[in-house]
Amino acid sequence: MGRKKLTLDKRSAVLSAARELFGRYGYGRTTIDDIAEQAGIGKGSVYTEFRSKEDILMNVIKQFYESEIDRMMRVESLGEKPFLRSLKKMLHSHILSVYDCATDKQHSAEELAYTSIRVRSELTPLFREAVLSISRLLAKAADEGEITGKHCFEETASVLMTGLSGLFPPYEPRWTTIDAGQNRVISREALAKRSDQLLDLMIAGLRGS
């Protein structure tokens, strides 16, 4: 038990250190030596937990997205009626959580889940978990008469996520402003407003389908 806890502590320390350094300096400029020093462990100990720097990167990204899946599933399991309102809450929170993570530091490893095709392909099982959680909430809404008509809820959930893709990184150029020669990403408040508007349209469509 003690050995297992020590291993988990080392793994957690490496991921925490890597997340901080990737955010501060970027993935390319961060080395395994940097991560080991930041984590307070030897370089060899890093390699006992992870195969490479790329492996660390993928685990940093997976850790973030797994926490998002857990949060989405908590909203689903609470089962608060009306279910379509719970769905809006789930998706709205997810959109803003990703924004907060993507804009918190100069560089964001987690943003690669949305901007890198290769990373996104690695995360396919997790994205599917998100779609399934949404589909189960849609099924509950249908059982309560909040949605009319016949649906394949997994397909509908996938379409919803595709429709929301513009609210995730990379944020569209027209959503930035030029200030003193620098591009500034859309504000959190503006993104929240756009999210509300789009989700309201989608939910209205589900109710009238």
Q: What is the pLDDT of residues 170-201, one digit of tens each?
A: 887 655 554 444 556 789 999 999 999 999 99
Model confidence band, residue 120 (pLDDT cutoffs 50, 70, 90): very high
- What is residue 182's predicted lDDT score, i.e. its pLDDT? 52
Per-residue pLDDT at 185: 79
Distance in angstroms (rounded) separating the CA atoms of residues 17 and 26? 13
Q: Per the structure block, which two tokens stand in for 5? A: 């806890």
- List domains and CATH numbers for the chain: 1-50 (1.10.10.60), 56-208 (1.10.357.10)
What local confidence, expressed as pLDDT, does residue 180 receive? 45
DSSP tag of 180 = T
The pLDDT of residue 5: 42
H or E segment to which residue 182 belongs: strand 182-184
Query: What pLDDT is stored for residue 171 in this prediction?
Result: 84
Q: Are strands 182-184 and 177-179 parallel, antiparallel or unpaired?
A: antiparallel
Q: How far apart are CA 40 and CA 83, in angstroms?
A: 46
Rounded CA gap, 35 and 30, in Å?
Answer: 7
What own/partner pairs with CB < 8 Å and gap ≥ 24 does 185-193 have?
185/103, 188/96, 188/99, 188/100, 188/103, 191/95, 191/96, 191/99, 191/167, 192/92, 192/96
Task: Indicate if the pLDDT at residue 209 is higher than 70.
Answer: no
Percentage, residues of the chain above pLDDT 70: 90
